[in-house]
Amino acid sequence: MKRIILFSLLLVIAIKAQPGDRIPYPVLKYIFNSDMLVIPSTDSSVSVYYLYKIAYKELVFEKAGKDYVGNVRLQIEIFDSSKSMVLRELKDNGISVENFEITIDKNNFLYDVIHFELPSGNYEVRPTISDLNSDRELPLKPDIINSSIILKETIFNPVVINHHQVKCDSKQYYSLVNFDGNIPFSPNQFSLLIPVADSSENNLNVQIISETDTILFENLQASSSMNLTPERCGENIILNSGNQNISTRNFILENVNKNLFEGRLTVRINIGDESQNRDIDMNVVWVNKPFSLFDPEQAITLLKYIESDEVISELLNADDDEYSKGLMDYWKKFDPEPETSFNPLMQEYYERIDYAALEFRGLGKDNGTNTDRGKIYIRFGKPNEISRTSDTSGNVVETWIYANPEKKFTFVDTRGTGNFTLVEG
């Protein structure tokens, strides 16, 4: 029941948000992601591929023999400019796993794609996602498609793909990422696939602009002239060659997120003269951003577990709008991968804080980061070995052992409240 309530509550957050509202991205990531690929199929109609993914942990799984089975239904209703429904599409999707732990893993997703055709016009797309095992049915934020404009475009909206191809039926394919059309700020590599209408075009200029700064400028060579057809293949949505009448010429900007930071940017695409320019706004989003990093000022104060008061005070003496930059500059000095904008050490530190805050609270519900176990966890990470025994007074004794560097910490719960005190180490 708790998982059903959580599924409902977080989806309501996304539903109530209006266009332009900032929704905490971990909410969207763990609930539902959608994206659309829209390209011409004839001179007067477009093919629409509505992609979605939903985390296993937000679904209700039922036991079926040795397996755990989850089932989802996606319904798409299309309304024209007069608010009349012109199309309804339904598609069921299911997953079966052997291990219950997989069903609650936040990193596992159920993927699928639904396809429909639309003639020239202006449409509203209203999706609904249903968890069939719990009979929960919730509408999602609608999307707008103006196919009459798309049919006139020379350059279509880019889609984010995985940098490395995936194998399906012994062949290699590009796979779609689907983080609501955003570019992930991540240690993983992602690329940008840009389709254009002219299948004879061989060169494309791409410029990425953040505010007034040009971050990247590249001349791309055409990758292929093909029909783009998203299809589900196992745990991926791959880009296959379909049977559309209109082919696209596809350009790939490799490893697009390497030097990008969180925030809004403009992708400026040019074919030939200025009349064939197109500016496309996109967002770079830290997909798994630790909650303790959402407030830069608070994130600076949380350096207290590893840094001196003088260093923290110096960072806080900057203007408020400089806190994020100061924090990034601080961690850059320790970045194990300085050639990229993403700093895995910074993420690791604040993930430890998030974990400690929740996992090491005693019965008093105090913030777990202020406990002895929390402080040790933040500094040294997860122990290689944890053992529990009792002392002569019947108190619970917990011992943490680290291999590199070799360290041992002993904690005792003297009151039986889950508040462990460091007694050795």
Residues 184-222: pLDDT tens digits? 999 999 999 999 988 778 889 999 998 878 888 999 988
What the block records as the tokens of 129 is 């996602």
Write the CB contacts of 405 (distance below 8 Å, at least 6 apart in sequence).
Answer: none
For 240, the token pair is 């296959």
pLDDT average, residue stretch 233-258: 84
Residue in 367, 183, 346 with CA at minimum distance from that of residue 261: 183
Asked whether residue 228 carries a pLDDT value surpassing 60, the answer given is yes
Instruction: Give tens-digit pLDDT for 38-92.
Output: 999 888 999 999 999 998 888 999 999 999 999 999 999 999 999 999 999 999 9
Least confident of 199-213, 270-284, 292-306: 270-284
- Number of Cβ within 10 Å of residue 210's Cβ equals 15
* Lowest pLDDT segment from 42-46, 356-360, 362-366, 370-374: 362-366
- Between 254 and 320, the higher pLDDT residue: 254
Supply the CATH classification number for the domain 154-288.
Answer: 2.60.40
19-55: string of b/e by CB count within 10 Å (b at 16+)?
eeeeeebbebbbbbbbbbbbbbbeeebbbbbbbbbbb
Cis ω on the peptide bond leading into residue 195 (within 30° of 0)? no
Q: Which residues contact 265 (CB under 8 A, 6 or more apart)?
A: 208, 209, 210, 215, 281, 282, 283, 284
Q: What percent of the chain has pLDDT over 90?
A: 66
Q: CB neighbours of 308 closer than 8 A, spacing ≥ 6? A: none
The yes-or-no verdict on residue 288 having pLDDT over 90 is: no
Residue where the block lists tokens 């830069």:
296
Residue identified by tokens 């577990």 is 305
Query: Looking at the predicted structure, is the pLDDT value of residue 17 above 80?
Result: no
Strand partners of residue 229 = 240
Check residue 272 and give left, alpha or beta (phi > 0: left; psi -120 to 50: alpha): left
Confidence band of 169 (pLDDT split at 50, 70, 90): confident
Name the E strands within 241-395: 248-253, 263-270, 277-285, 385-390
Domains 1-152 and 154-288 share a fold: yes
Segment 17-45 shows an average pLDDT of 64
Residue the block writes with tokens 């350009």: 251
Instruction: Indicate the range of 295-304, 307-316, 414-423 predicted with least confidence.
Output: 414-423
> Per-domain residue ranges for the chain?
1-152, 154-288
- Percentage helix, strand, coil for the chain under 3-state DSSP, each rounded to 5: 25, 40, 35
Report pLDDT for 241: 75
Lowest model confidence (mean pLDDT) among 225-234, 357-366, 381-390: 357-366
Least confidently predicted of 41-50, 164-173, 190-199, 236-245: 236-245
pLDDT average, residue stretch 121-128: 95
Cα 409 from Cα 384, distance rounded (Å): 12
pTM of the model: 0.84
DSSP-derived 3-state class of residue 122: strand
Residue-wise pLDDT tens digits, 330-352: 999 999 999 999 999 999 999 99
Task: Return d(Cα 79, Cα 139) in angstroms, integer.
Answer: 15
Q: Does the 1-152 domain belong in CATH 2.60.40.10?
A: yes
Structure tokens at 360: 């090491």
